[in-house]
């Protein structure tokens, strides 16, 4: 092999090696509860409409194909749900995603609502799930926050912004 070809291959190898060492890692989107509304139900299950705010801290848009989640209230499982409406979260922006949630087993739902009437100043919640995105496979999220029980009973909206992102 002549010297010139060796130098070209050595430089190309060094450049490729440098690129392989710097991995592209997108930042995780932030997911928070923006609204909760009752949608009715029966003795065995209750339905809720959750509006989630998804914030994208990246310089590129994120196409979301759907999501799945569980919602714990006061440390106990409360509801779970899925959504399959595609949405694109703009670069350095946010989007609202509406998803339906189902709370099963009447006793658990009644116990949680009984907690609302105990004069509690705040009711802690935890929202866990996964955003499904074709580009990167998806993003897990785990969000904690607080609800104002009196406000929740009045109009179904959380009083405080979430206290922690995933």
**Is position 63 within any domain?**
yes
Give me the torsion for CA of 13, 16, 20, 26, rounded to 10°. Answer: 170
Contact call for residues 97 and 132 (beta carbons, < 8 A) = no
**Is position 94 within any domain?**
yes
Contact call for residues 81 and 68 (beta carbons, < 8 A) = yes
**Is position 5 within any domain?**
no
Q: Give the CATH number for residue 36.
A: 2.60.40.1820
> Beta partners for 123?
147
The pLDDT, as a whole number, for residue 15 is 56
The pLDDT, as a whole number, for residue 104 is 76
Contact call for residues 28 and 55 (beta carbons, < 8 A) = no
The pLDDT, as a whole number, for residue 114 is 59
**Is position 100 within any domain?**
yes
The pLDDT, as a whole number, for residue 164 is 40
pLDDT, tens digit only, all 166 positions of the chain: 566 665 556 555 555 555 554 456 788 899 988 888 888 877 788 888 988 999 999 999 999 999 999 988 878 888 899 999 999 999 999 999 999 999 876 545 555 555 555 556 677 889 999 999 876 688 999 989 887 665 555 444 444 444 444 3
User: How many C-beta neighbours within 10 Å does residue 18 have?
Assistant: 9
User: How many C-beta neighbours within 10 Å does residue 117 have?
Assistant: 10
**Is position 17 within any domain?**
no
| Tally of structural domains, the chain | 1
The pLDDT, as a whole number, for residue 129 is 95
Domain residues for the domain of 64 are 26-155
SS3 46: strand
């Amino acid at each position: 092999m002549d010297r010139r070809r060796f130098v070209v291959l050595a430089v190309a190898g060094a450049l490729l090696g440098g690129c392989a060492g710097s991995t592209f890692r997108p930042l995780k989107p932030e997911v928070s509860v923006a609204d909760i509304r009752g949608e009715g139900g029966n003795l065995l299950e209750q339905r809720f409409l959750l509006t989630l705010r998804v914030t994208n801290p990246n310089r590129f848009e994120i196409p979301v194909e759907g999501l799945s989640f569980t919602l714990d209230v006061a440390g106990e499982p409360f509801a779970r749900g899925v959504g399959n409406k595609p949405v694109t979260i703009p670069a350095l922006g946010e989007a609202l995603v509406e998803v339906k949630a189902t709370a099963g087993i009447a006793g658990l739902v009644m116990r949680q609502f009984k907690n609302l009437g105990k004069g509690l100043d705040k009711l802690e919640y935890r929202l866990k799930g996964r955003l499904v995105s074709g580009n990167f496979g998806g993003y897990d999220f785990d969000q904690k926050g607080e609800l104002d029980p009196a406000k929740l009973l009045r109009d179904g909206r959380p009083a405080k912004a979430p206290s922690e992102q995933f």
